Amino acid sequence: MVEEAIHAVQLINASLPDAWKLRFAKELATGSTGRPADGEILIDFRPREDWPDTALHGRYEGGFAQRWFDPRHPLVSGRVWIDTTPGAQGGFQPRSVSIVHQLLHTLSFTLSGVTTRTELGIPIR
C-alpha cells in the first residue's frame, strides 16, 4: 500500500512545478482519525467498515477525501481514506488510481506547501 501511495504522489508531482510538488514527511504519521496538522494530508489505509462516520457519507469511489480549510486558505489540511477491503477498488484499477483520484479531490485547486503522510508508518512529504 505504501508503494501505491508513493506511486500516486509521483504521478501527481510529474505534472506540477517544483514549488508545488508534494513532499514526504520525515516523521511517522499518528494513528489518529481526526484532523491532520495544518499543511498535511494523511493517506489512511483501512477497511471501509473501520472508517469514522465523517468518512462514510457521499459518493464512494474506493476511497474518500476530506478537506479542512478557512476563509483565508482554500486548503489547510486533508485526509484521504483508501478502502483496503478485498475487491473494493473494483478489481480493474490499481489502488494507486484511487489514491490519485482522492488526493486530487483533497487538493482541489490548491497545491502549494502541502505535506502528505501515510498511516502505515512510511511518511510522505
Residue 111 is predicted with a pLDDT of 45
Instruction: Give residue 114's pLDDT band: very low, low, confident or very high (50, 70, 90).
Output: very low
Residue 122 is predicted with a pLDDT of 40
> Could you tell me where the DSSP H helices lie in the chain?
2-13, 95-107
- Grid cell, residue 93, equals 484499477
- pLDDT tens-place string over residues 49-106: 888 776 666 566 678 888 887 777 666 788 888 888 877 766 557 788 889 988 988 8
Least confident of 26-30, 55-59, 106-110: 55-59
Whether the per-residue pLDDT at 14 is higher than 90: the answer is: yes
- Grid cell, residue 102, equals 482522492
Instruction: Give residue 7's pLDDT band: very low, low, confident or very high (50, 70, 90).
Output: very high
- Whole-angstrom Cα distance, residue 72 to residue 58? 26
